[in-house]
Amino acid sequence: MLPRFIAALLIAFIAVPSTAEARGADGFSNPIIPGFAPDPSIVRVGSDFYVINSTFEYFPGIPIYHSRDLINWELIGNVLHDPEQVDLESVGSGSGIHASTIRYHDGLFYVITTNNIDGELVNFVVTAEDPRGPWSEAKVVEGAPGIDPSLLFDDDGRVWYAGNHAPSDPAFNGEMEIWLQELDVETMALTGERYFLWRGCCQGAWAEGPHIYKKDGYYYLLISEGGTAYEHALSVAISEDITGPYINNPRNPSLSHRQLSYDHPITGVGHADFVELNDGRWYAVALGWRLVDGLHGILGRETFLVPLTWETEPYWWKEPKYTWPVVSPETGRVELNFRPPFADTGQRESQAFLDDFDRTELGLEWNMRRTHGAPFHSLDGSALRLTLQPGHLDDHGRYSFLGIRQRHFEYDAETELRFEPRSSGEEAGLVVMQNDRSAVFMTLSGGESANRIRVYKSFHGEVVELAVTDFAGESVHLRVSGDYLELDFSYSADGETWTTLAADVDGTTLSPAVIHGYNYTGLYLGVFASSNGGKTSNHADYEYFRYTPRAAERDGWYRRQIGRMDQRPSAAVEDVEDVAVLQDQLASRR
């Protein structure tokens, strides 16, 4: 066995590429879409690539990103942009829009997805000629159980729906099965016989996310197994007939990090989709976690890019010799860096975000939680106005919140607020939100003798005040600075001179490992306004919102975690019970 210090040196010189390699044309860095971008699905149309992700209770739903090089992505729209398309008014945290699939056929884009209305599963399809929209009204596929539907447009003109369900004869708790049925895309009605294809290779636990591809006369069924935490995995089966029988790839799982330490910088990889390039090469997009200190997935699941190739079985004695996809053929893992798919293509640095609210419609980056019966926000070309609603954080509630995805571990986010509280219960300000069960607020509110600025946590309905100060004014700049699991909150009267109100605030309460329950989303940074149950016609105005990444190097998060592995080579986390909690709460997806 190598001495520990030598092993550490090997990690430093082999596992961690140089900054130049990470940023230059010789390599790109994963993830390609950082910050709450789970369950990616991809399609190529000519030289254009499009990726979509799950959004659960957030609206607008299902962001659609565009790229020409697979490593630089631009948000160009949201598939679910009209509240009439989808019922999200009262879904709980972790419900709503689950994994979606995007496909293109005969001039039309198709997105098929599941809306989980707190256990009632509604599968539906929307279409568009232009991926930027508008997208059609939803057409529900009646009689389609389960989640994560996908479509295959076969070369004989038939269209097939693939989904999952709980079989009537499960061999163990959590066993799921992939099923298939023909779909009439004119009526979105299932037709003909239903076929039951596969329960997976690895006990079939939570077999989901099916995609079927046709290549060289064979049908390949790609699924995810094992839940969406450490044991997540991809598996592949093959058949000469789309209806089966499907034969297990003996080298399954085809991609997983389940064999790696809990401390590995990238974990939980799975739920992938394959795409073929114009020149015949193939790639996969897959979700993965970047866990802080091996436990805290504060950014949620993100989108990673992985090369794949195809290999034919070499056995002289075997007929037929099947050809199988080999994901990440050099290492079998989702690496931090790969060579770019297209030569002389560099990866742009993650850009800062600034909204001066100089438009009359919200930018594509903004989301609210759930849909609302009436608008609570407006723009006049100079400011964003939030109407105070009675609601605060509630597992099925609606409240005045707009936010953008946190995409970096180190950042500054700030806004200028103009607000005149009319009672002590009215407040408005800045928020860092994981979901309805956990958030940290910095707000301006009314006080007994003067307005006040407060920093407080809301965790499972309990409020803990962290800091408070009187503030003589109705216009204030508010800022939160994030450093992995620590948050600093400061304020300024003029936007130049800042005063720290709360420093080193513990951000672990924003972690899915601590919140418990189904936590499929990532952190949001945004603006918030509430009357906390009171009746009011009051409002709060925001002059701008700025988000600035602060990391000294793009891949610093990776080196930070590698350093942690070096310091604690024989232990994954301090508290074994915490790992059990994470596995129980996150791996059991459904």
> Looking at the annotation, which residues are catalytic?
39, 208
Three-state SS string over 32-45 comes to CECCCCCCCEEEEE
Residue 47 CB burial class (10 angstroms; 0-12, 13-18, ≥19): exposed
Rg of the chain taking only CA atoms, in angstroms: 24
Sheet holding 524-530, edge to edge: 400-405, 524-530, 427-435, 438-445, 452-459, 462-470
Residue 260 CB burial class (10 angstroms; 0-12, 13-18, ≥19): middle
Number of residues that make up the chain: 590
Mark residue 473 as left, alpha or beta (left: phi above 0; alpha: psi -120 to 50; beta: remaining).
left
DSSP string for residues in 306-365? EEEEEEE---TT-SS--EEEEESTTTSS--SEE--SSTT-PPPPPPPEEE---SSS--TT
Residues linked to residue 478 through DSSP beta bridges, in sequence order: 415, 491
Instruction: Please name the helix (run of DSSP H) or strand (run of DSSP E) that holds residue 512, with its range, or none.
Output: helix 512-515
Other CB atoms within 10 Å distance of the CB of residue 316? 7
DSSP-derived letter for residue 11 is I
> Considering Cα of 285, then 565, then 15, then 407, what sign does the dihedral take?
positive
Helices and strands counted in the chain (H then E): 5, 40
Give the whole-angstrom CA distance, residue 119 versus residue 363.
32
Residue 517 CB burial class (10 angstroms; 0-12, 13-18, ≥19): middle
Give the whole-angstrom CA distance, residue 63 versus residue 43.
14
Sequence-separated (6 or more) residues with CB below 8 Å from residue 239? 218, 219, 221, 245, 246, 247
Query: What is the residue type of 313?
Result: E
Give the whole-angstrom CA distance, residue 358 versus residue 98.
33
DSSP-derived letter for residue 85 is G
Give the whole-angstrom CA distance, residue 588 versus residue 590.
6
